[in-house]
Structure 1
Amino acid sequence: MPLPRRAGPSGPRPTALTAAALLCALAAGTLTGCGGGNEQGGSATRTPSAPETGSFSAGTLPSALASSASAAVSSARASVSAAASSLEARASEFEASVSADTARSAATAEKALKGVPGRGNAVGEVGMTGVPRDRTGGVLAVLVTITNKTDRKASYAVQVDFVDADGKVAETRYVGAQDLEPGKKAQPIAFSRQSADKKLTARLAKAQRY
Structure 2
Amino acid sequence: MSRHRALVATLSLALGTGVLVSCGDSDQDTAPSPRPTSSSPDAASFSGAPPSALASQAASAIASAHASASAAASSASARASEFEASVEAEAARAGAAAEKELKNVKGRGNAVSDVGMKGLPRAETSGLLAVLVTITNKTDRTASYAVQIDFEDTNGKVVETRFVGAEDLEPGKQEQPIAFSRLPQDAELTPRLAKAQRY
| TM-score of the aligned structures, taking structure 2 as reference length | 0.56
Equivalent position amino acid for 2:173 in 1: K
Task: Tell me, in whole angstroms, the C-alpha distance in 2 between the residues paired with 1:172 and 1:99.
Answer: 17
Q: How does 1:25-104 map to 2 (within 5 A)?
A: 99-104=88-93
* Correspondence for 1:133: 122
Q: What is the Cα deviation at residue 115 of structure 1?
A: 1.0
- The structure having more radius of gyration, on CA atoms, is 1
| TM-score of the aligned structures, taking structure 1 as reference length | 0.53
Give RMSD over aligned pairs. Answer: 1.5
* Correspondence for 2:173: 184
- From 90, 102, 109, the counterpart of 1:113: 102
Deviations 1:100-123 (A, max 9, x none): 441120110000001101000000
Equivalent position amino acid for 1:119 in 2: R
Partners of 1:164 and 1:200 within 8 A in 2: yes
Task: Tell me, in whole angstroms, the C-alpha distance in 1 between the residues paired with 2:118 and 2:182.
Answer: 18
Residues 107 and 209 (structure 1 numbering): CA distance in 2 closer, same or farther, change over 3 Å?
same
Structure 2 residue 160 is the aligned partner of structure 1 residue 155? no
Equivalent position amino acid for 1:106 in 2: G
Task: Tell me, in whole angstroms, the C-alpha distance in 2 between the residues paired with 1:198 and 1:178.
Answer: 32
Unaligned runs of 5+ in 2: 1-83
Equivalent position amino acid for 2:111 in 1: A
Task: Tell me, in whole angstroms, the C-alpha distance in 2 between the residues paired with 1:132 and 1:96.
Answer: 23
Q: Which runs of 4+ in 1 moved over 4 A?
A: 95-98
* Correspondence for 2:113: 124
Structure 2 residue 171 is the aligned partner of structure 1 residue 204? no
* Correspondence for 2:163: 174
Q: Which SS does the other structure have where 2:163 is aligned? A: strand
Deviations 1:131-190 (A, max 9, x none): 110011100000000000000000000000000111100100000000000000000000
Q: What is the Cα deviation at residue 193 of structure 1?
A: 0.3
* Correspondence for 2:63: none
Task: Tell me, in whole angstroms, the C-alpha distance in 1 between the residues paired with 2:85 and 2:155.
Answer: 30
Q: How many residues align?
A: 116
